Structure 1
Amino acid sequence: MALVVLDPPGKHPLSGSVFFDRGSLEEPPPPPPLRSYLCLTIFTCFCPAYPVNIVALVCSIMSRNSYYQGDYDGSRRLGRNARLVAVASIIIGLLVIAISCIVHFTTGEF
Structure 2
Amino acid sequence: MMSVTVVSSDVKSTLDQDKELAGEGEEQAPEVPPPRNYLILTIFTCFCPAYPVNIVALVFSVMSVSSYNQGDVEGSERLGRNALYVAIASIIIGILVITIYCTVHFTTVEL
TM range (shorter): 0.7 to 0.9
Deviation at 1:103, TM superposition (A): 0.3
Partner residue in 2 for 1:11: none
Q: What are the ranges of 5 or more consecutive residues in structure 1 without an aligned counterpart?
A: 1-19
Structure 2 runs not aligned, ≥5 long: 1-20
SS in 1 for 2:60: helix
The answer to whether 1:28 aligns with 2:26 is no
Give the CA deviation at 1:22: 9.5
- Contact 2:68–2:76, Cα closer than 8 Å, also in 1: yes
Q: Partner residue of 2:49?
A: 48
Rounded to whole Å, the distance in 2 between the matches of 1:92 and 1:39 is 18
TM-score, structure 2 length as denominator? 0.74
Which residue in the other structure is 2:18 paired with? none
Q: Deviating runs (4+, > 4 A) in structure 1?
A: 20-23
TM norm structure 1: 0.74
Alignment correspondent of 1:97: 98
| 1:32–1:72 Cα contact (<8 Å) kept | no
1:31-82 CA deviation, whole Å, 9 max, x = no partner?
Answer: 1333110000000000000000110000000000000000000000000000
Q: CA deviation at 1:21?
A: 9.3
| Cross-structure match for 1:59 | 60
Percent identity for Structure 1 against Structure 2: 68
CA gap of 1:23–1:46, structure 2 versus 1, over 3 A, is same
Residue identity opposite 2:50 in structure 1? A
- How many angstroms apart in 2 are the aligned matches of 1:108 and 1:25? 77
CA distance in structure 1 between the aligned counterparts of 2:23 and 2:55, rounded to whole angstroms: 49
Root-mean-square deviation (Å): 2.0
Which residue does the alignment assign to 1:87? 88
Question: How many equivalent residue pairs?
Answer: 90
